[in-house]
Amino acid sequence: MSLLCKPDWEETKENYRKWWSGEYFGRCAIAVYAPKRNPPDIPKPPEPVDVRQKFYDLDYISHMNNYNLSRTFFFAEALPVWNGGYPGHTSIPVFLGCPLHLDMRTGWLDPILLDEYIDYERLKIDENNYNYKFAIELLIRGIREASGKCLVSIGAFGGCGDTLAALRGTERLLIDCIERSRQVKQAELYLMEMWCNYYEKLYRIIKDVDEGSTCWFTLWAPGKFYAAQNDFAYNISPKMFREIFLPAIEMQVNFLDWCVYHLDGIGNFRHLDALLELPCLRAIQIAPGAGKPSPVHFMDILKKVQKAGKNLHISIPDYEVKTALENLSARGLFIDTRCKTEDEALRLIENVYRWSVDRF
């Protein structure tokens, strides 16, 4: 079966299966995106007049997805994914009652657990919440739009540490980690069980069209896939990370069939050793963060991931692909990049076959 936006979908799925399994298939896995040489004459929708149209108008979201997908060529393991944007309006803290503020680019939340005691056991997802209902409606619309054409994202709805930081407030949660660490750990496990139950509900909606799943992190897997992360952990020590947050991360990783950990920001690199110890964690993305050098400038960290037997994901500019492949094993390596033209993308993939070496 092919997809309208991805005619080589059968081959792509097979390459993903091999990558997840740590098999070498003649080159690294690589997703190369490029603008189409001759895109169809689909007009770009007018700019949205306000945040409600941009993030809640299903017709606008549909037109914007059609426009973007029609103008992009998806080479190798690159994926065409239908999504409604990720400003936080379909995240679990919103369903639990956190007030949401949106602008035309992103969103932010006000905390609701303001007492000294973290009263997490009273938290229940409100299925009558407007944003909850919209999240389900968005996914159903995406399924209808994506069928036979592309994949649909299961979304971005929070994870370990960051959900509790939204509910509690980052500064207050930092104090909690010192003064009531056991309660924070219990709250994390409670919230992660909630996360798994919510994921299961969404997965049942998208699994047939996606033949598995993808999410805000554009990888595909033939089962339950999501990118785990804990951006809050940028602020804490490795000891605190292990004792308070690692149990919930392990719970999430064990629940999923396939998982990549989004290690975002150089301040989070200190937690790599703990993550490498999780036997069911298949892959780790090294993302130094905005304003920092690209991942290839942290070659010792990249090699450490590979030496530990984990798959490695990096997002780099096309001119750094050769450097990456000269230093890393192509087995288990996934590179995400962009090219300016279709011809440049084709040349890059030809070169990737020449540059790739299985160093294991």
Which tens digit of pLDDT belongs to each residue from 337-347?
999 999 999 99
Flag whether pLDDT at 1 surpasses 90. Answer: no
Place 320 in a pLDDT band, splitting at 50, 70 and 90. Answer: very high
Rounded CA separation 229/242 (Å)? 14
For the chain, the first-to-last Cα distance in angstroms comes to 33
**DSSP helix/strand/coil, 287:** strand
List residues bridging with 334 in a β-sheet.
29, 313
Are β-strands 311-315 and 333-338 bridged in parallel, bridged antiparallel, or unpaired? Answer: parallel
Least confident of 92-96, 116-120, 273-277: 116-120
For residues 339 and 34, the answer to whether their CB atoms sit within 8 Å is yes
Mean pLDDT of 112-121: 94
CB contact at 8 A, 335 and 31: yes
Contacts of 66 (CB under 8 A, 6+ apart): 42, 145
Classify domain 41-70+80-217+234-255 by CATH number. 3.20.20.210
Of all residues in the chain, what percent are helix, strand and coil, respectively (each to 5)? 50, 15, 35
- CATH 3.20.20.210 location in the chain: 41-70+80-217+234-255
> Is residue 308 within 8 Å of 329, Cβ to Cβ?
no
Calpha distance 347→184 (Å, rounded): 51
| 173-192 average pLDDT score | 98
pLDDT, average across residues 230-241:
98
Q: Which residues pair with 226 in a beta bridge?
A: 259
Q: What is the mean pLDDT of residues 255-271?
A: 98
Give the integer Cα–Cα distance in Å for 69 and 290.
26
Tokens matching residue 39: 């895109």
The pLDDT, as a whole number, for residue 360 is: 82
Residue pair 357/330 in contact by the 8 Å Cβ criterion: yes
Model-level pTM?
A: 0.97
Task: Please state, for a pLDDT cut of 90, what percent of the chain lies above it.
Answer: 99
Q: Report residue 137 as tokens.
A: 């409606």
Residue 142 in contact with residue 82, Cβ under 8 Å? yes
- Please give the structure tokens belonging to residue 46: 């007018």
The C-alpha atoms of residue 69 and residue 38 are separated, in whole angstroms, by: 13
Structural element, H or E, at residue 41 = none
Contact (CB, 8 A) for 34 and 72: yes
Nearest to 283 by CA among 315, 306, 299: 306
Question: For residue 34, what is the enclosing H or E element?
Answer: strand 29-35
| 140-180 pLDDT, tens digit each | 999 999 999 999 999 999 989 999 999 999 999 999 999 99
Are 177 and 184 spatial neighbours (Cβ–Cβ below 8 Å)?
Answer: yes
